Amino acid sequence: MGVDAVLMRVEQHGTSPKRRKLAPIAVAPDSKDVFVRLVDQVRGRGTHPMLERVDPYRSLILSPAEMPQFLSELARLPASTAQDVEAIRQLKDLARQCAADPATELHLDGS
C-alpha cells in the first residue's frame, strides 16, 4: 500500500499522446509505507494540499513547475523517526532533480 516516487524522463515528439515515452531515471520506494503514513498524519487538515492528493491506490503525476510547493510541503511533514527523515530526504532529492530538468515528471505511484 506504499507510494513509490519515480522520476521519469518524458520524450514527446509532436503533439500526439501516442508518441509520448517515459523512462525511469530514479526511484524512491516506499516499501514500508513510511510516506503514506506521513501523508495520512496531515490529511484533512488543509495544510498540505498537494500531498493530500497522494493516493495509495492511484498515481499522481507532478510537473517540474509543481516542485517548489511539493518541496515546501515535504519540509513541513512531521518526521519523528530516522526512517521518516530518510524517506523525506529521498523524496526531496527526486523533487530537486525534477525541478532542475523540464523534461522530467515525478510520478507518485500507489501500489
Cell 516516487 sits on residue = 5
Specify the range with the lowest mean pLDDT, choosing from 10-19, 62-71, 94-103: 10-19
- What pLDDT, on a 0 to 100 scale, did the predictor assign at position 111? 74
Quickly list H helices, the chain: 34-42, 67-75, 82-100
pTM over 0.75: yes
Query: How far is it, in rounded angstroms, from Cα 54 to Cα 33?
Result: 13
Cell 503525476 sits on residue = 61
Res 1 pLDDT > 80: no
Per-residue pLDDT tens over the stretch 34-85: 999 999 999 999 999 999 999 999 999 999 999 999 999 999 999 999 999 9
| Beta strand pairing call for 59-62 and 3-12 | unpaired
Q: Report the pLDDT averaged over residues 93-100.
A: 98
pLDDT-derived band at 93 (thresholds 50, 70, 90) equals very high
